[in-house]
Structures are given as structure tokens and as C-alpha cells.
Chains A and B, each alone.
Chain A
Amino acid sequence: MSLKLKALLKSPWVFHLSTGSCNNCDIETLDCLTPRFDIERFGMLLVGSIKHADVLLVSGSCNRMSVERLKVLWDQVPKPCLVVAIGTCTGSRGLFIDSYNCPVPLDKIIPVDVYIPGCPPKPEAIIAGAVKLIQKVGGTL
């Protein structure tokens, strides 16, 4: 594992991006920060700028208008950056697979490391997804 990646895993900073979601995944993500789940105690922090991010958390069904912005943001993010696709919409587009405005799933646009399925995934599932992400790139908890 590269030094960059090793340093990143100690305390992954997360930037959250909604590409046309229904808000549920975004709210459940915020829920992870609040007292009952409190994922911040593991060093995971929601940051305000894409340039501070180690992990990109994408929710939503990638509609035509936000895909342009998603590509711009992906160019701006410092690499290595891990991508987590949260919710069924990002994984398979779920219910919106027939929609005229959601042409491709997320992994056809940017590489995805971990999928967290669910509509919306429970905060427990999101925490489990974070654990899997760290294990996948070879870190230990």
C-alpha cells in the first residue's frame, strides 16, 4: 500500500455529493454524524471542500445536469480518492432505470470502490460500508 493511501485511511475525510437523489441517503449520511451513531469518533469527518476530501460519497441517480458537475468535481479531487456509491440509485439506478433523465449508473462515469445498497441504507449499513472500504484497500481498524 502506498504511503499516501496509508495516511488517508487513518482518518478519512468525506465529501458528500448528491447527484439527483431524493435526500434520504443524504439525511441518513448526516444521521451517522449525530449522537446515536457518531461516526466522527473514528475520525471520519464531513468536509466542505472537495479539495480536502479523501473519500467521495456519491448519492443519487446521476441525472444529465449533475453528471457534468460530477465530472468537474472528479477532476478537481486530489488522488488517490476512494469513491463510495450510497443507495440503490447510484448502484443500479433502482426505480429510475426507465427515467429519461438518468441515462447511466455511477460506475460508468467514475470508478467506484464500495457500494452501499438500500433505499435508503440504514446508518448501520453506512458504517459497515465504511469498514469495508477501509478493509478493501488493506487497512486495519
Chain B
Amino acid sequence: MGKTIIPIGPYHPLQEEPEFFTLTVEGETVVDIDMRMGYNHRGIEKLSEGMVFENSTFVVERICGICSTSHPYAYTRAVEDVFPMEVSMRAKYIRTIIAEGERIHSHLLWLGLAGHFLGYNTVYMWAWKLREEILDVMEILSGNRNNYAMFKPGGVRRDIRAEDIPICLKKIDSIVPTLIMLKKAVLDDPVLHARLKGVGVLSYQDAIDFSALGPTSRASGVARDVRKDSPYGAYQEMDWNMIVTQNGDVFDKAVVRILETVESINITKYCLENLPDGEIDANIKDVPVGEGIGHIEAPRGETFHYVKSDGTNRPVRHKVRAPTFMNLPTYKATIVGQTISDATIILAAIDPCYCCTERVAVKDDRGRMLYNGQDLVRLSREKTEKMRQRMGGK
């Protein structure tokens, strides 16, 4: 049977973000997938290197709208890793509250979009309606619905007022019955069982081989969670469960996300109820020479930041690795052999976030890489030299 190539994107009605897939199909079956990105590249790392340490949090916040806590959190941890310093307990609790609130709204967002991809718009509307309550809580706590600007190296930028806590708790409590209803509606629905079980299976071995992260790997039985493995924030202060399932199909990925939402609600409530007193900011004056890494568990997996400092007020190098960067190659394992009608939900199942993942590479028309890091440094030096000559040859 002949092979057909089906292009999806870059501007596809189903996906919000631009990205381009080429599915190679034999009849109904997908035999290969290739993807092309770069429609979202904004040069964040370079921008961050031109900013002072405190302002970089605002840049990394805008890497991705849904991970607008994960990136600043990982970045601030990287800066705090450059030199040993202690963040106050209250700041840690506030960070945990914001991070978990983001996880709740991100997972609900995914659940809604997954329902939308399946043509099950009821789930979409319910999940996004629930999400509004969490966004209200975030607005009360931080002042904005999405980009919270709560993080700074050494602490948090904004305190939680005592009179806001009961309102937030009430709002969070109010979504629990609906969430339980939604959980039952999704997990006990025979239609969804038939549609999602056994679709897009990522086996345990594949999850290890592709270094899958976050819910994508936990759905395949890989018990990895930065919150458990190398605790940060306030996560070791309370009991919570890491959700791990064994099958690795799309259904299990949904199960992991829904159950994690419930866990996150419990963590947020615990933190709000037991918020300790104290300072919220360690007031870092300057960052010494050195390099640091910071990693945290974002809704999609481990977010990793690397910061190198030369003693000035700006980072010399800032490197970001978003979880989707590791999860995207798992398409090779999950989508091959599936039918074309299941492709959309499998592509959505890792909760991809392309704007986190964008990299830049200069290639010729045969696909060969033209510049590596050293070449770019050389080009930059040549350009500086030219500019210097133009400005008077000093």
C-alpha cells in the first residue's frame, strides 16, 4: 500500500499554538511522524541574559502562559543555588500555594482541551468552568489571573493577607464536589473507556528510553516526581500521594492528571491553613560568581534551569529545559501503529507546550546544522568588531 503524507498545521483549528506535523500514513495507520517547530521562538534565553537577576523572572514567566509559575520557580531556585542561602518558611509555603494552584488550573485546562479534542465538549465546558474558580483564587492571591509575578530570588514579591485566606479556602472547597462529579463522569464513562483505553500506549521501557517526564511518565509506571525525589518548597511538610498508573495509554494519562488535581487541592488547602509567620524575602544584594541549577515539578514534568553568574548583576548564561522538550519524542513510540483518527488525542495526551520548547537552529536546505555554539560566538565577535570599526575604530 502506498504511503500518504498528511500535514497538520502550522495553523490548525484544533491547536492553539502553531506547530507543524507531517504524519506518514498507510491507509488508516500512521507509520511515521515528523514535526517542525520554531513558530513560537522569541529568544527568551538571550533576553534573560540581558536583564538583571530580579527582572529575569518576568521574562521566564512569559515563556509559557500555563507554566508561568514553574519557570520563575526553577529560575529562582537556580539563582539561590549559586550561593547557599536560606529562604524563609513562609516564602516557601507561598511558593508552594502558587505552584499547586497553577497545577490545578493547568490540569483542568488539559482535561477540558482533551474533551474538546474528542468532541466531548461537555467536559470542556465543565472543566473550564471549574478552572475559573482557581483563577479567581490566584487573582486574589497575586493580583493577576495568569502571570503572577510572585517570585523573586530569595523569596516572594507579595505576601498573602490573612483576611484573604478564608475566601480562598471557601472558593477551593466549592470546586471539590464538582471535581468529584467530573472525575466520576470521566473515569466511569463507557464511551471514554472505549475511545481512550489502549490508545497511544507508552510502555515502561519506552518512557525510560525517551526520558519522559511528569504525568506522561507516571502514567507508564515510572514513579518519578521532583516533589518527592528531591523535595523543595513545603512539599515535605505534609503527606500527599504520588499518582502512578501502569498502562501508559491516554486514559491513564487522564487518570493521573485528574487524581493529581485532587492531591494538589489538598496540598494547597494544607498550606493555606498552616501558613507560618515570618519574613517573605531574604533581600539578596548581589549574586557572587558561580553557577547553579534549579529544577521543579511543573504540571507537565520537570522544568530545569541553569544560571551562570560572573559576579555582575546579569546572568552570563541562562539555559532553560522545559518538560515538553523531553516528552515530544515519545510521539515516535506512541503514535506509530495507531489510526489517523486517534492521532489528535495522542498528540494532545502529553499536554504539549510548544512555546516552552522552542529552540533556534540555523540549517541549510539539506537539513545540515550550519552553526554550533562556537560559531555563534565567533559571529558575534566579528559583528562587534565591525560595529567598533564603524563607530570610529577604537
Contact between B41 and A23, CB atoms less than 8 A apart: no
Contact between A27 and B39, CB atoms less than 8 A apart: no
Contact between B43 and A99, CB atoms less than 8 A apart: yes
- Point out the residue from B11, B39, B47, B65 that lies within 8 Å of A22, measured CB to CB: B65
Chain B, 81-99, contact with A by CB distance < 8 Å: what is the 0/1 string? 0000000000000000000
Is A92 an interface residue, CB under 8 A from the partner? Answer: no
A23-B16, A23-B353, A35-B128 known; A63 and B147 CB under 8 Å?
A: no
Contact between B16 and A27, CB atoms less than 8 A apart: yes
Contact between B42 and A69, CB atoms less than 8 A apart: no
Quick one: closest B residue to A49, CB to CB? B13
Q: Report chain A residues within 8 Å CB of B13.
A: 47-49
Q: Mark out the residues of chain B between 111 and 144 whose CB falls within 8 Å of any chain A CB in the assembled complex.
A: 112, 124-125, 128-129, 132
Count residues of B near A (Cβ-Cβ below 8 Å).
Answer: 37
Task: Kindly provide the distance from the CB of B60 to the nearest chain A CB, expressed in whole angstroms.
Answer: 11
Quick one: closest B residue to A99, CB to CB? B43
- Point out the residue from A36, A50, A63 that lies within 8 Å of B42, measured CB to CB: A63
Alpha-carbon distance A35/B121, docked complex (angstroms) = 12
Is B267 an interface residue, CB under 8 A from the partner? Answer: no
Task: Kindly provide the distance from the CB of B228 to the nearest chain A CB, expressed in whole angstroms.
Answer: 28
Q: Mark out the residues of chain B between 38 and 84 whose CB falls within 8 Å of any chain A CB in the assembled complex.
A: 38-43, 46-47, 50, 58-59, 62-66, 68
Alpha-carbon distance A66/B124, docked complex (angstroms) = 28
Chain B, 250-277, contact with A by CB distance < 8 Å: what is the 0/1 string? 0000000000000000000000000000
Is B10 an interface residue, CB under 8 A from the partner? Answer: yes
Contact between B128 and A28, CB atoms less than 8 A apart: no
A26-B17, A69-B18, A119-B62 known; A21 and B43 CB under 8 Å?
A: no
Is B246 an interface residue, CB under 8 A from the partner? Answer: no
Q: Mark out the residues of chain A between 53 and 75 whose CB falls within 8 Å of any chain B CB in the assembled complex.
A: 60-61, 63, 65-66, 69, 73
Is B145 an interface residue, CB under 8 A from the partner? Answer: yes
Alpha-carbon distance A47/B11, docked complex (angstroms) = 12
Task: Kindly provide the distance from the CB of B34 to the nearest chain A CB, expressed in whole angstroms.
Answer: 17
Is B194 an interface residue, CB under 8 A from the partner? Answer: no
- Point out the residue from A21, A36, A98 that lies within 8 Å of B132, measured CB to CB: A36
- Point out the residue from B17, B50, B128, B353 that lies within 8 Å of A31, measured CB to CB: B128
Determine chain B's interface SS by DSSP, over half rule. loop
Count residues of A near B (Cβ-Cβ below 8 Å).
Answer: 39
Quick one: closest A residue to B38, CB to CB? A65
Is A132 an interface residue, CB under 8 A from the partner? Answer: no
Contact between A120 and B146, CB atoms less than 8 A apart: yes
Contact between B63 and A22, CB atoms less than 8 A apart: yes
Chain A, 100-141, contact with B by CB distance < 8 Å: what is the 0/1 string? 111000000000000000011010000000000000000000
- Point out the residue from B41, B64, B125, B146 that lies within 8 Å of A28, measured CB to CB: B146
Q: Which of B42, B109, B124 has the largest count of A CB atoms less than 10 A from its CB?
A: B42
A98-B50, A122-B145 known; A20 and B42 CB under 8 Å?
A: yes
Contact between A35 and B129, CB atoms less than 8 A apart: yes
Known: A18-B18, A20-B355, A98-B47. 15 other contacts (CB 8 A): A18-B40, A21-B40, A23-B64, A24-B65, A24-B66, A24-B146, A31-B128, A34-B132, A36-B129, A61-B42, A65-B38, A69-B18, A120-B65, A120-B145, A120-B147
Q: Which residues of B contact A (CB under 8 A)?
A: 10-11, 13-14, 16-18, 38-43, 46-47, 50, 58-59, 62-66, 68, 109, 112, 124-125, 128-129, 132, 145-147, 353, 355, 360
Q: Which residues of A contact B (CB under 8 A)?
A: 16-28, 30-31, 34-36, 47-50, 60-61, 63, 65-66, 69, 73, 95-96, 98-102, 119-120, 122
Q: List 24 A-B contacts (CB under 8 A).
A: A18-B17, A18-B40, A21-B17, A21-B65, A21-B355, A22-B63, A24-B65, A24-B146, A27-B65, A27-B146, A28-B145, A34-B112, A48-B13, A63-B41, A65-B38, A66-B10, A66-B40, A69-B18, A96-B43, A99-B42, A99-B47, A120-B146, A120-B147, A122-B145
